[in-house]
């Protein structure tokens, strides 16, 4: 019963509500991405991506892994453009977004299974 009185006291209740509102505000305030650094990271990662031209559908596991990697990277490029629409990586990201449906189609046609 004393516990209930303590919780219902105006000062404790007000402090609890303010604390809760503070947590909610902190959760909503997502950090702003550093678009320049993220664009540079995407460019570097793009250079290291496997190339579909060198993977054969006959070698299904490597081919599927290559497709899945390219699909995931296109998703990252899409996220980057959503957060940084004026990024200097926008042109390259547009090409990735255009290619992503084709990669997904090949992934399905070759009966690949997700690993990532």
Contact 103, 74 (CB under 8 A): yes
Pick the residue with more confidence: 6 or 68? 68
Unique residue bearing structure tokens 């599927």? 64
Instruction: Check whether 31 has a pLDDT greater than 80.
Output: no
Phi/psi at 112 (5° precision): -75, 155
Tokens of 116: 């990532």
pLDDT tens column, 85-112: 999 898 899 899 899 999 999 999 999 8
Rounded Cα distance, 100 and 75, in Å: 8
pLDDT at 21: 43
Residue partners of 104: CB distance under 8 A and separation at least 6: 71
How do residues 47-77 score in pLDDT, each as one tens digit?
Answer: 999 888 888 888 888 989 999 999 999 999 9
Mean pLDDT in residue range 15-41: 61
DSSP helix/strand/coil, 2: helix
Which two structure tokens, joined as six digits, stand for 54? 């060198």
With beta carbons less than 8 A apart as the criterion, state whether 78 and 95 touch. no
In three-state secondary structure terms, 49 is coil
């Amino acid at each position: 019963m004393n516990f209930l009185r303590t919780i219902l006291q105006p000062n404790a209740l007000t402090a609890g509500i303010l604390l809760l509102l503070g947590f909610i505000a902190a959760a909503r305030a997502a950090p702003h991405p550093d678009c320049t650094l993220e664009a540079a990271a995407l460019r570097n990662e793009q250079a290291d991506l496997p190339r579909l031209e060198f993977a054969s559908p006959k070698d299904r596991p490597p081919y599927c892994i290559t497709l899945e990697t390219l699909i995931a990277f296109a998703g990252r490029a899409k996220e980057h453009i959503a957060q940084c629409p004026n990024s200097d990586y926008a042109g390259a990201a547009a090409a990735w977004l255009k290619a992503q449906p084709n990669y997904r189609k090949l992934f399905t046609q070759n009966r690949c299974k997700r690993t990532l």
